[in-house]
């Protein structure tokens, strides 16, 4: 069972990495935002191909089960990604507000000149 599961997870990793490259090529995602996903799936691939690596980190970080460590790391990663995306959205909201004000000022000046 472990062998087949490893093959399925490996195929899944390569499909997701291919999808990320496709999104980069189509300019649907930038490289700086895709780095997080490459690192995440690279780490998953390392856990998959090196036997005992997951158990080593489980014991090193003080977890009793590997599944608890994976769940905690995924939850932490998703929280960090969420905070990162919130910062980006806030920054873009401010830029949109400033652009809207500048456009309004330019339209007002153009109407006054006519």
Q: What is the pLDDT along the chain (114 residues), one digit of tens a residue?
A: 467 888 888 899 999 999 999 999 999 988 888 888 898 888 888 888 887 888 888 899 899 988 898 899 889 988 998 998 899 999 999 999 999 999 999 999 988 887
Output the 3-class SS for the chain: CHHHHHHHHHHHHHHHHHHHHHHHHCCCCCHHHHHHHHHHHHHHHHHHHCCCHHHHHHHHHCCCCHHHHHHHHHHHHHHHHHHHHHHHHHHHHHHHHHHHHHHHHHHHHHHHHC
């Amino acid at each position: 069972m472990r062998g087949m599961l490893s093959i399925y997870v490996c195929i899944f990793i390569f499909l997701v990495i291919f999808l990320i490259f496709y999104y980069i090529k189509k300019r649907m995602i930038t490289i700086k935002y895709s780095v997080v996903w490459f690192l995440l799936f690279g780490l998953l691939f390392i856990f998959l191909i090196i036997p005992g690596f997951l158990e080593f980190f489980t014991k090193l970080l003080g977890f009793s089960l590997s599944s608890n460590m994976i769940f905690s790391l995924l939850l932490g990663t998703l929280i960090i990604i969420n905070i990162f995306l919130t910062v980006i959205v806030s920054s873009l909201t401010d830029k949109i507000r400033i652009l809207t004000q500048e456009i309004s000022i330019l339209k007002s000046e153009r109407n006054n000149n006519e």
